[in-house]
């Protein structure tokens, strides 16, 4: 685009918004659900506008090659950002501070990178208790220390009372990708095996149970955890046979696998009975009418690996404290490209589609 020779301002109205305003004149919560509407925002508005190869890879983070003058192999950096708006700020198993560190560390890990440094941006609401902020900052510090990554830069802003949920945090991070690691959603290929690192849907159900005041016999704790060490183990065991890594956060396992199937143009076939899930979580999902495949995780990793290394990778997962319940849940197939199918517990087949908006509990 050129701005023309005159000094006249660009005619912004000449650019048609790619998302018909008549359909969605305003943002709804469903645009943040991690499903099809979120994808529409990203793919129709953000990616075409900011068009560049790193963004277009649509990975958890961008992979950037550092320019070299000597002609040696490039050092590759992973660069990622994530914003945290969770309510409540403190929840069983974590808080917004540790979650903000884990989220970006995990996005970098899913690029195969060891984190080098993080940034932290705070949007604080007037009236937030100083003790709460102190707890959150302490928790961030501890989480970063556990991973061994410095929070090297940051920013604070304060907004009027009523214009924020106490605190929002953005974290960004950079990490270095080892030379022999090539992780990309497009590398999934028929014959590959799909592994999940542990029991799914824990974070989303734990948050929902505190937010909605639901009480269950078993107390559920979020699975929020840093996956950098786990990923290192997996990469050591599977080497170049590790094709795709993804942390199935918002939108759950189903959204992550649908994205991968779409980007690699392959089919994915799951076996429902092999997907690890905690009984309490499953019970909560049954009662509320939610599908655990769409519920958020904050300390789980999906790996798509060559069949030859599957057993070694599975063993590596299970050696790590965060991967003891790891399981093979399916495979990549040449049939039904871009679609995810699942064999049900009684032996029927169905499509596992991407969610449209947010899951809403049903009437009866």
Partner 1 sequence: MRFVDEYRNETDAQKLLRGIMRTVTRPWTIMEICGGQTHTLIKSGIDRLLPPEITLVHGPGCPVCVTPLELIDRAIAIARQPGVIFTSFGDMLRVPGSQTDLLRVKAQGGDVRMVYSPLDALKLARKHPDHQVVFFAVGFETTAPGNAMAVWQAKQLGLSNFSILCSHVLVPPAMEAILSSPANTVQGFLAAGHVCSVMGYWEYEPIAARYHIPVVVTGFEPLDLLQGIYMTVRALEEGRVGVENQYSRAVSREGNRSAQQLMAQVFQVSDRKWRGIGAIPQSGYSLRPEFAAFDAGQRFGVAGIVAAESPVCIAGQIMQGLKKPHDCPAFGTLCTPEHPLGAPMVSSEGACAAYYQYGRAG
Options 8-16, 29-37, 220-228, 241-249: segment touching partner 1 (CB under 8 A): 29-37
CA dist 243 and 304 (Å) reads 6
Q: Which secondary-structure segment (H or E) carries 351?
A: strand 349-351
Decide whether 311 or 353 has the Cβ nearer to partner 1.
353
The least CB distance from residue 336 to partner 1, in Å, is 9
Q: Is residue 356 at the binding interface for partner 1, with CB under 8 A as the rule?
A: yes
Q: Is residue 283 at the binding interface for partner 1, with CB under 8 A as the rule?
A: yes
Strand partners, 124: 158, 167
The site for partner 1, by CB under 8 A, has a size of 35
Exposure letters 188-206 (e unless 16+ CB within 10 A, then b) = beeebbbbbbbbbbbbbbb
Decide whether 64 or 271 has the Cβ nearer to partner 1.
271
Say if residue 260 is preceded by a cis peptide, omega within 30 of 0: no
Options 110-118, 123-131, 278-286, 308-316: segment touching partner 1 (CB under 8 A): 278-286
What are the backbone dihedrals phi and psi of residue 252, each rounded to the nearest 5 degrees, phi first?
A: 70, -170
CA dist 177 and 59 (Å) reads 14
Closest of 123, 80, 136 to residue 104, by C-alpha? 80
- Binding-site member from 279, 303, 314, 338 for partner 1 (CB under 8 A): 279
CA dist 152 and 150 (Å) reads 5
Decide whether 74 or 356 has the Cβ nearer to partner 1.
356
Q: Is residue 21 at the binding interface for partner 1, with CB under 8 A as the rule?
A: no
Q: Which of residues 212-231 bind partner 1 (CB under 8 A)?
A: 212, 214
Q: Is residue 145 at the binding interface for partner 1, with CB under 8 A as the rule?
A: no
Decide whether 72 or 279 has the Cβ nearer to partner 1.
279
Name the token pair of 338: 């871009």
- Binding-site member from 49, 87, 142, 344 for partner 1 (CB under 8 A): 344
Decide whether 37 or 196 has the Cβ nearer to partner 1.
37
Q: Is residue 17 at the binding interface for partner 1, with CB under 8 A as the rule?
A: no
The least CB distance from residue 255 to partner 1, in Å, is 13
Exposure letters 323-340 (e unless 16+ CB within 10 A, then b) = bebbbbbbbbbeeeeebb
Name the token pair of 103: 């989220």
Name the token pair of 201: 């849907």
Quote the Cα angle for 354-316-233, to 5°: 90
Decide whether 144 or 266 has the Cβ nearer to partner 1.
266
Q: Is residue 353 at the binding interface for partner 1, with CB under 8 A as the rule?
A: yes
Name the token pair of 79: 């660069």
The least CB distance from residue 213 to partner 1, in Å, is 9
- Binding-site member from 152, 289, 307, 324 for partner 1 (CB under 8 A): 289
């Amino acid at each position: 685009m050129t701005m023309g020779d005159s000094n006249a301002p660009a005619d912004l109205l000449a650019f048609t918004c790619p998302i018909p305003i008549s359909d969605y004149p305003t943002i709804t919560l469903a645009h943040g659900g991690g499903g099809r509407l979120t994808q529409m925002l990203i793919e129709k508005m953000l990616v075409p506008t900011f068009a560049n190869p790193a963004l277009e890879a649509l990975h958890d983070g961008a992979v950037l090659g550092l320019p070299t003058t000597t002609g040696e192999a490039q050092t590759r950096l992973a660069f990622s950002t994530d914003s945290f708006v969770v309510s409540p700020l403190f929840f069983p198993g974590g808080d917004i501070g540790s979650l903000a560190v884990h989220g970006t560390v995990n996005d970098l890990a899913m690029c195969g990178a060891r984190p080098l440094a993080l940034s932290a941006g705070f949007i604080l609401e007037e009236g937030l208790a100083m003790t709460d902020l102190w707890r959150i900052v302490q928790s961030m510090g501890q989480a970063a220390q556990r991973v061994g990554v410095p929070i090297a830069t940051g920013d604070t802003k304060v907004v009027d009372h009523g214009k924020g949920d106490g605190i929002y945090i953005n974290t960004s991070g950079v990490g270095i990708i080892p030379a022999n690691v090539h992780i990309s959603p497009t590398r999934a290929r028929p014959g590959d095996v799909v592994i999940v690192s542990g029991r799914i849907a824990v974070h989303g159900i734990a948050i929902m149970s505190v937010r909605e005041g639901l009480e269950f016999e078993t107390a559920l704790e979020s699975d929020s955890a840093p996956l950098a060490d786990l990923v290192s183990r997996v990469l050591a065991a599977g080497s170049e046979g590790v094709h795709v890594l993804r942390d199935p956060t918002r939108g759950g396992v189903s959204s992550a696998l649908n994205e991968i199937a779409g980007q690699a143009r392959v089919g994915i076939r799951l076996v429902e009975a092999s997907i690890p899930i905690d009984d309490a979580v499953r019970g909560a999902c049954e009662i509320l009418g939610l599908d655990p495949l769409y519920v958020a995780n904050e300390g789980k990793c999906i790996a798509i690996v060559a069949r030859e290394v599957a057993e070694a990778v599975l063993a590596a997962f299970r050696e790590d404290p965060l991967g003891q319940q790891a399981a093979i849940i399916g495979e990549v197939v040449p049939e039904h490209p871009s679609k995810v199918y699942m064999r049900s517990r009684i032996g029927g087949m169905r499509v596992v589609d991407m969610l449209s908006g947010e899951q809403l509990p049903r009437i009866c």
